[in-house]
Amino acid sequence: MKKAYVFPGQGSQFVGMGKDLYEQHETARQLFDRANEILGFNITEIMFSGTEEELKQTRVTQPAIFLHSVAQAAVAQDFNPDMVAGHSLGEFSALVASKVLSFEDGLRLVYKRAMAMQAACEANPSTMAAILGLDDAKVEEVCASIEGEVVVAANYNCPGQLVISGSNKGIEIACEKMKEAGAKRALPLPVGGAFHSPLMKPAEEELAKAIKETTFSQGICPIYQNVDAQPHTDPEEIKQNLISQLTAPVRWTQSVQQMVADGATHFVECGPGKVLQGLVKKIERTAEVSSVE
Distance CA 263, CA 222 (A): 13
For 289, the enclosing helix (H) or strand (E) is strand 288-291
**% residues pLDDT > 70 (the chain):** 100
pLDDT digits (tens, 9 = 90+) for 250-281: 999 999 999 999 999 999 999 999 999 999 99
> Is 190 a residue whose pLDDT tops 90?
no
pLDDT of residue 57: 87
pLDDT digits (tens, 9 = 90+) for 35-74: 999 999 999 999 999 999 999 888 999 999 999 999 999 9
CA atoms within 13 A on the CB side of 78: 5
Task: Give the three-class secondary structure for 189.
Answer: coil
87-91, 122-126, 239-243: least confidently modelled range? 122-126
Distance CA 94, CA 225 (A): 10
Distance CA 225, CA 246 (A): 12
Over range 3-29, report the average pLDDT.
96
pLDDT range class, residue 199, cuts 50, 70, 90: very high
Distances, alpha carbon 261 to alpha carbons 148, 258, 264, in Å: 39, 5, 7
pLDDT of residue 216: 98
Tell how strand 231-232 and strand 223-224 pair up: antiparallel
Distance CA 290, CA 75 (A): 16
**% residues pLDDT > 90 (the chain):** 93
pLDDT of residue 224: 98
Q: Where are the alpha helices (DSSP H) in the chain?
A: 19-24, 26-39, 43-49, 52-55, 58-75, 90-97, 103-123, 136-145, 168-180, 201-212, 235-244, 252-261, 275-283
- The residues assigned a catalytic role are 88, 196
Distance CA 143, CA 85 (A): 27
pLDDT of residue 284: 97
Rounded to two decimals, the pTM is: 0.96
For 277, the enclosing helix (H) or strand (E) is helix 275-283
> Is 11 a residue whose pLDDT tops 90?
no
pLDDT of residue 153: 98
Distance CA 29, CA 175 (A): 44
The contacts of residue 209 (CB under 8 Å, 6+ apart) are none
Distances, alpha carbon 121 to alpha carbons 114, 179, 200, in Å: 11, 26, 8
User: Which of 167, 155, 237, 234 is CA-nearest to residue 198?
Assistant: 167
pLDDT of residue 271: 97
Over range 92-96, report the average pLDDT.
98
Over range 76-81, report the average pLDDT.
94
